[in-house]
Chains A and B, each alone.
Chain A
Amino acid sequence: MNEQQNDETVLNDLPDSVVHTKKRQFSIVWIVPLVAVIIGGWLIYKALSEKGLTITITFNSAEGLEAGKTKIKYKDVELGQVENITLSPNLSQVIVSAQLAKEAGKHLSENSRFWVVRARIGASAISGIGTIFSGAYIEVDFGKPGKKALHFKGLENPPIVTTGLPGRHFILEADRRGSLDIGSMVYYRQIKVGQVVAYQLAQDGKMITFKIFVHAPYHNYVRKNTHFWNASGLDVSLDAKGIRIDTESLATLLVGGIAFDVPKNTRPGDLSEEEAVFILYNSFEDSQQRTYTVKTKWLLHFDGSVRGLSPGAPVEFRGIQIGKVQDINLRLNTKDLSIKIPVIIELEPERLIPDVEFTEDTENKNVKEVPGNVKGIEHLVAKGLRAQLKTGSIITGQKYVDFDFHPDAPVRRVNLEGIYPEIPTLPSTIEEMGEKITKILARLDKLPVEQIGYDLRDTVQNAKRFTHALEEKKTVEHLNTTLQETQQLVAKLRKNAVPEITSALKQAQKSLNAAEAILSSNSTLQHKINIALDELAGAARSIRILTDYLEQHPDALIFGKGKQNED
């Protein structure tokens, strides 16, 4: 009880707290969830606003691509990420779906291109080394604005030209692809200035068109008269100086290349515009052949057969080509039922270079006009210019049209009645020859062959008669005289030469007798010889005795003969 009272007193004795009445305030703590809401809201807004488009790209292979990791980049700026990789229903392709940032989505169009950047080692370049460590990524080139698209076909190889690269595209037409490929270099004076971007077969399949890209500022060197040629591989030429091997660069040996330049001795023309079309020549030599833009058409009428002449056959002037045959027709004249063969040719008058530069105000009126126009040709025809069919090759029988001056040819003028002015022709040389031979034969025909035969027989008979006369008279006389002269000659020989021969014989007799006396058996010479021979026999004998002794006693040579009985 006491304790409780005590407690109560203690409690009652406790001091009162100081009370400040204060209006209840909004708790500051609510700022925390407010901030959380703001941050959360901002995160949601950010996520929503950045949530881009989901695009799908098809590739042949998903090599190096990983869902949730592979990035989509443009100029090395991350724009998105691969979300999912699936196979197409027919298993032929890989469908990559990716999230692309919203701002990137604005630029997406059907012209956008996607390709996988991975390490590539080609003959001419190595690229994407960085991706060995970082992993492959998908690069995008947005391309020109166009229709919106969300499904794309991925490129298997990186495109050579990306949008915004300064330079120009050109189209080249060629017969063959050669060793050119996408990525083959384009050279200008052996400087790498561009690359082949694409190539495809023309629709009719008769040509290949290459699309090349020439980087700025080199595209300024592509003029309207620029010639492109295939610079692939080696150009080996053998001449008096030896073997020369030319190549644009080592790389063209491997991957092929294209070079271009303005042909020699020509002024560069105007700049070419984008996607201008050019011919791709097969070699530098081909490209250097001048092309002539001015072409005039003329008509020729040949009287004889035009067998062997075909469209495209050359038209030459003394062996130099000045044009070609365009067309050969067969025309029936319904009035007189005559058939003509009009041959239309194309001349390139630029090939004929006048010694005077023609200008509008050429005052020298004596200078004839260029042969490009009718008047110019008229002048030349007046001087005897004629066309003639000639055989180019005896084996194939191909013919060509030859122009030359024939001052003796019958005078004719340029016929201006038809669509094309007609240049007079001459019959071909073979025709001419044929005509001449016929003429000769005709003349031969007229010759009095029989009369000539008779005459000849008469002549022979006369000759016979003549020889008979000779036999009968003069020959016998001649023989008689010859015999007489021979008789005289023998008589002379007998008179002079015989006594001298007899004396010579007598002398020879004497010499022989003397020789006999010397050599007879009882002569002194014989006797002396016998004695000498006996002496020689004696000498030989003693030599034998000596040698025998020496054989037994060789020491006798040194010690002398000595005593005989010593043994």
Chain B
Amino acid sequence: MKTRLPIARNASLISCHSCHLLCKGPKKYVVSTMKCPRCGAILHSRKPNSIARTWALILAAAIFYVPANVLPITTVISFGKAQSDTIMSGVIYFIATGLWPIALVIFVASVFVPLVKLTILTFLLISVQRKSTWHQKDRTRLYRFTEIVGRWSMVDVYVVTILVALVNLGSIATIQAGPGAVFFAAVVVITMFAAMSFDPRLIWDVKEDTNE
């Protein structure tokens, strides 16, 4: 059955982001700036430049992912002895001391999830660009997953900031945030932006186009 779903875009209709006024766009999709006739907000049929923007952010996040894991995230100075730890060395430390659950949490939240997010987004982008119709629903589900889980990676950054603020006992023990923490935060934030800038409707646009 080839019933065309009434898709706003196909009807050249655009919903305003700000006041949700549905208004007509130009007949042919052109690269131009449209403004909401009611509130004056810029109108987009799809998130503008979504793919390029997401690519840019994913790239930036991927670049920052390296120093985030290589550079020390915390430096514990206890009795004059300074010990710098990267995320992985912390995980290894917890494994070595037998605290498997904590090691797992840290690993999943700080190493695995950002990596998974980056891979998922990359995969989505590539699939969209290749106009793939493969498991569109599942891919949308994946996207949702990245959006939801993304913010939890910030837990690590919060832990570090809280520790730095709390453990400040002069020469007995002091914790300093390492440069890795900054990069890690950057990775998390940038991937969140990347996920935001990705327009999941693009996954489905393919279907409409092919249907057309």
Q: Which residues of A come within 8 Å of B, CB atoms?
A: 11, 14-22, 24, 27, 29-30, 32-33, 35-37, 39-40, 43, 69, 130, 133-135
Contact = CB atoms under 8 A, between A and B. Distances in A.
B30 interface: yes
A130 B53 CA distance: 54
Given A18-B34, A36-B60, 14 more contacts: A17-B34, A18-B35, A19-B32, A19-B34, A20-B35, A22-B31, A32-B57, A32-B60, A33-B60, A36-B63, A40-B64, A40-B67, A69-B82, A133-B171
A21 to B, nearest CB: 5
B52 interface: yes
A29 B57 contact: yes
B115 interface: no
B73 interface: no
A36 B118 CA distance: 15
A32 B34 contact: no
Interface residues of B, number: 39
A241 B106 CA distance: 84
- B interface majority secondary structure: mixed
B107 to A, nearest CB: 21
A76 B102 CA distance: 38
B114 to A, nearest CB: 14
Nearest to A37: B63
Contact of B63 (A15, A20, A40): A40
Contact of A27 (B23, B37, B52): B52
Given A11-B11, A19-B32, A27-B52, A35 B60 contact: yes
Interface in B12-27: 13-14, 22-26
Interface in B187-201: 190, 197
A157 to B, nearest CB: 23
Given A17-B37, A33-B63, A27 B56 contact: yes
A450 to B, nearest CB: 115
A138 to B, nearest CB: 15
Given A29-B52, A32-B60, A15 B26 contact: no
B55 to A, nearest CB: 8
B155 interface: no
9 contacts: A14-B22, A17-B23, A19-B32, A20-B32, A27-B49, A30-B56, A36-B186, A43-B71, A133-B171
B56 A24 contact: no
Chain A to chain B: the 5 pairs with minimum beta-carbon distance, closest first: A134-B80, A36-B60, A33-B59, A36-B63, A33-B60
Q: Which of A14, A69, A130, A135 counts the most B-chain CB atoms under 10 A from its CB?
A: A14
A189 B122 CA distance: 82
B32 A21 contact: yes
Contacts of A17: 14, 23-26, 34-37, 43
B81 A69 contact: yes
B119 interface: no
A29 B53 contact: yes
Contacts of B33: 20, 22
Contacts of A35: 60
A9 to B, nearest CB: 14
Nearest to B66: A40
A489 to B, nearest CB: 135
Contacts of A22: 31-33
A69 B81 CA distance: 8
A319 to B, nearest CB: 71
B168 interface: no
Given A32-B57, A36-B63, A19 B80 contact: no
B134 interface: no
B132 interface: no
A24 B31 contact: yes
A497 to B, nearest CB: 137
A14 B22 CA distance: 8
B27 to A, nearest CB: 10
Contacts of B197: 29
A169 B59 CA distance: 63
A135 B61 CA distance: 38
Interface string B61-76: 1011011000100000
Contact of A36 (B31, B59, B171): B59
Interface in B50-104: 52-53, 56-57, 59-61, 63-64, 66-67, 71, 79-83
